[in-house]
Structure 1
């Protein structure tokens, strides 16, 4: 049994390193909801999984290595969620802040570039909410989960303590 543990320890180590790397890399790459992923985003995510699989299991394709790798990922995910939930500055760093994409009927170009969205992306989100033109929107805000909240011009807005960033 100790031999099996010593053989599977590198699987745990590699899985931890790759998990942390992917969390940071995907945070830097930007945020999208799963439903908002383009075909390219989806292909990249699938290929990432395939690309890191062999490194995580240290070339060991045994059932034990796969189970240890899976268990390590699940435990890391649970631990990361628990830590991020309890440490507000870390939560903000990992999940980011809401970002204003439309302010008083005008695109916030700098923020659109920063999150990698085009005018057409925003216009599509506006149309989905029954707004035909950007000038009819008071705000369009990318939430921390990647969804876009649209507030029509005629709506009253109550600011929370966590207000969207106007610019960087």
Structure 2
């Protein structure tokens, strides 16, 4: 339960180090966009990369070369989808969602229902970003990555 063998530990160290190095190399070659969490698809790829790395390190039934191939496949697929979404509005609409306005001079309940967000969740997120209440907030936007953006009122005298 606490210790099986030195062989298992050596495998974890060697496979873990090698897989980690391969992942870092793949991410450097593929660019910053691979780990950008700009939308739900990007988030899923990031989680899948982490899960694959953990499987390579901890599962003796997955060979290092198979695991690195899986990492490379995920990075390549993410690259192809990102490349295609930049060049094709149809692919972009398929992969990315639009930001949704949830609050402006009051809560937009229809939008909140469609996005399955409650008033309490928005208020809690506002507190987490330093807004004691929504009085100083002009708008709240649910971004494509699932985060909430709080847009402040402009200072007095400036146009909205």
Q: State TM-score, norm by structure 2.
A: 0.52
Name stretches of at least 5 consecutive residues in structure 1 with no aligned partner.
Answer: 1-29, 35-44, 54-59, 158-168
Q: Check 1:127–1:61 CA distance in 2 against 1; reply closer, same or farther (3 A cut).
A: closer
Partner of 1:20: none
Q: 1:138: how far off?
A: 2.6
Structure 2 counterparts to residues 3-82 of structure 1, below 5 A: 31=40, 49=51, 61-82=62-83
Residues matched between the structures, number: 108
Q: Check 1:64–1:129 CA distance in 2 against 1; reply closer, same or farther (3 A cut).
A: closer
Higher relative contact order (CA 8 A, sep 6+): 1
Query: Structure 1 residue 116 and structure 2 residue 100: aligned?
Result: no
Q: Check 1:74–1:129 CA distance in 2 against 1; reply closer, same or farther (3 A cut).
A: closer
Partner of 2:102: 101
Name stretches of at least 5 consecutive residues in structure 2 with no aligned partner.
Answer: 1-38, 56-60
Cα RMSD for the two superposed structures: 3.4
Q: Work out the CA distance in 2 between the residues paired with 1:123 and 1:82.
A: 37
Q: State TM-score, norm by structure 1.
A: 0.50
Work out which of the two has the higher radius of gyration on C-alpha atoms and give 1 or 2. 2
